[in-house]
Amino acid sequence: MVPHSSATPAPRLALIGGRLERDNDALFRALGERCPGTMLVLSMASGYPEEVGAELVEDFREHGIDAEHLPLYHENREQSAFDPALVARLRSAGGVFFSGGDQARIVATLVQGGVETPALAAIRAFNAAGGLVAGTSAGAAMQSRHMILGGTSLHAVSRGVDAGGDGLQLGSGLGFFRHGIVDQHFLQRGRIGRLAVAAQHCGEALAFGVDENTALFVDGDEALVLGETGVVVLDLRSARAEADGALRDIRMSYLDSGDRFDLALRRALPAPDKRRVRVTRASFRRPAPVRRHAFGAYAVHDLLLRLIEGDPAFYRRDDASAVDTAYANRVRVELERLPRRSRALRARRNGEIRYSGLDFRLHLSRIALATPVTLSETTTVLRPDPSPDARLVLLGSAPMGWGAAGSAQLREHLRAPVGVLATASGEPDAMARRYLDWLAQQGIPAELIDVSLSNIERAGRDRALLARIGSMGSLLFTGGDQRRLTETLLHCAEATPVLHAVVSAYEHGTPLLAVVAAAAALADRMIAGGDSEDALRDGSSGDAGAEGIVVERGIGLLGHGLVDQNFLERHRLGRLLVACVAQRVRYGFGLCEGSGMVLHGGERVLRAFGDRGLVVAQLDPARARLGRNDWSPDGITLRVLEPGQAFHLDTAAGDSGHPSAAGAALLERVIADLASDLAAVRPGPTPAHDAAALVDALRGGAVH
């Protein structure tokens, strides 16, 4: 039930952390309950307001909520924000919903020349009378009085607030939410550092970080969390800002879906089904063995879950670090579980364990380094010692779309029965069924190995399931999201029993096949987000909130270089090169569609198979530089490894012979695509000259 009073209606808000999925029925239902009439969609934050508005209207109607798109845009703000007809519609709305995009566009549309427009006045009056103001992403960020405009967590802690754009950028929001400052995409983009710095700088006692596909619903002085993950609440009333830039003693709570927060008393109210986590033999008793970038996706969340599931008699603190190389600062994030203060809670819902962590302590610090260094955020988790019969098979696209020749070669690596793990997929049941049906069409017996992010803890205790993994003829990881795969198999920053079982099977000769995202995740490092244009424009970072591409810890079964997939059709040479140079690795492997590569046992020789082959980028890390302002293509060599050809990783020697016409055309195509991407992001005489030099150098250094 939605709280309400017979007295003055309480203002209602919904702050959604972005990536609102259509199948989030509970969240849409809560929006509908708070919207008695028509939901008016406002999409002025988007650069494509008409398209975004139409999509949101369709989403609302699909869930039984009457919705209408109001043509109040940033582009027409000088007329629309004063239009009497639009203003009248806002006064009579059942609710208003702000889309994602750029929060500054929302404020600039509704506040012009420093004066609030009639459109904003109508929304305020409507909200004061109990009407719902909702928004996702930018539409959530603008609801607080102070508004975060940009900047990453690493730069915020290392460089501080900087209106010029080098650190954290802040502005004025619209102030619908009066209880603190708000950030969104919170755990997914590692934003805890920037939220804490913003709150301290603005003098806010509370700060709220809303994760993706999750909402904080506000009804008067009570807040409710609903959605896929949760909301982080920072309480800075007892925090200390020190002269060296450190922020200490921030009270931090993680509220799960179903938890509430009393905004008047500033107190968390866990859901009724939450129970204290009891110490068992399985409790963690040491810091996380897998070290991550402090602001990687869900990095702090993983540390918190370890402490929640830890034995506080042995393990009460954990930390993660990151380095700002440009400013030569090492940033450290530390979490602490306090005796008799911190509360570690969990509940089991539909077979999934849900956590709440209340009143932990967060400390942020920075240390000036004598010389710039690059901090390694990746720990070797398991370095397998495979038998000669073992095979690691990485596929550049889903096998259902392969040609006849490539499919025939792929079948040689599929030993029955095939164990299918759809762990990387957001819809594992549907993905697994797709692969099981395909394998049945090939006449290959297969069965599901049910391992997902929601059941990984239970799977790790299931001895029968672990034994089945070892008994399979081959193991196949489907595509999906590489982060989901690493978060599952390295749950709470530790190699799970499931991962140990997979590696053990591989070591004893079981072929291990990985499709697209899963192929990328098996390397020591993986490209977790961003395209080639992002990479060429803004470079590479381990900070999940940074512009450019994000490179994160992988599972670590392939230690020879970075892997990228869907390589040809998605123009991924640019991002592969930038990532390899940034990570200082010797090789990058671009898996083309309908193709793959295989490593046999402990050999340091890879072989291409399929319809097209793969692109191998060989780099000299000491010479190659592809930074934003420091370009040097020296030390980069490209080659195409055609189906049936081998490449020796120790000597960088490939099979000799002249390339086929198809191989030469493939290499020319990926270089031409790189030239196109460079032209798109580096216009102007000097950058264009650099781009041309890079492309010419790659053409000159290309071998087959």
Residue 688 domain-assigned (yes or no) = no
Residue 482 domain-assigned (yes or no) = no
Domain range enclosing 310: 276-368
Low-confidence ranges of the chain (pLDDT < 50): 1, 3-6, 375-379, 685-686
Residue 473 CA to residue 475 CA, distance in Å, equals 7
Structure tokens at 535: 């990479």
Residue 581 CA to residue 579 CA, distance in Å, equals 6
* Amino acid symbol at 669: R
- Which DSSP state fits 10? P
For 18-46, write each residue's pLDDT tens digit.
Answer: 999 999 999 999 999 999 999 999 999 99
Q: Are 474 and 510 in contact (CB under 8 A)?
A: yes
Structure tokens at 577: 């090169």
In the block, residue with structure tokens 């519609």: 89
- Which DSSP state fits 658? P
**DSSP labels for 324-389?**
ETTTTEEEEEEEEPPTTT-EEEEEEETTEEEEEEEEEEEEEEEEE-SS----------------TT
Residue 297 domain-assigned (yes or no) = yes
Q: What is the pLDDT of residue 2?
A: 52
Strands 329-336, 317-324: parallel, antiparallel or unpaired by DSSP? Answer: antiparallel
Question: What distances in angstroms separate CA 151 from CA 44, 154, 198, one per listed residue?
Answer: 22, 8, 10
Q: What is the pLDDT of residue 105?
A: 98
Domain count, the chain: 1
Q: What is the dihedral of CA 677, 680, 686, 687, to 10 degrees?
A: -40
Q: Are 447 and 469 in contact (CB under 8 A)?
A: no
Q: Are 266 and 221 in contact (CB under 8 A)?
A: no
Residue 333 CA to residue 314 CA, distance in Å, equals 20
Residue 348 domain-assigned (yes or no) = yes
Residue 127 domain-assigned (yes or no) = no
Q: What is the pLDDT of residue 378?
A: 46
Residue 241 domain-assigned (yes or no) = no
Peptide bond just before 417 cis, omega within 30 deg: yes
* Amino acid symbol at 354: R
How far is the first Cα of the chain from the last one, in angstroms, to the nearest whole number? Answer: 67
Q: Are 98 and 138 in contact (CB under 8 A)?
A: yes
Model's pTM, two decimal places? 0.90
- Give 208's strand partners: 182, 233
Residue 353 domain-assigned (yes or no) = yes
Q: What is the total residue count of the chain?
A: 704
Residue 42 CA to residue 442 CA, distance in Å, equals 50
Residue 309 domain-assigned (yes or no) = yes
Residue 524 CA to residue 561 CA, distance in Å, equals 7
For 316-362, write each residue's pLDDT tens digit.
Answer: 999 999 999 889 999 999 999 999 999 999 999 988 899 999 999 99
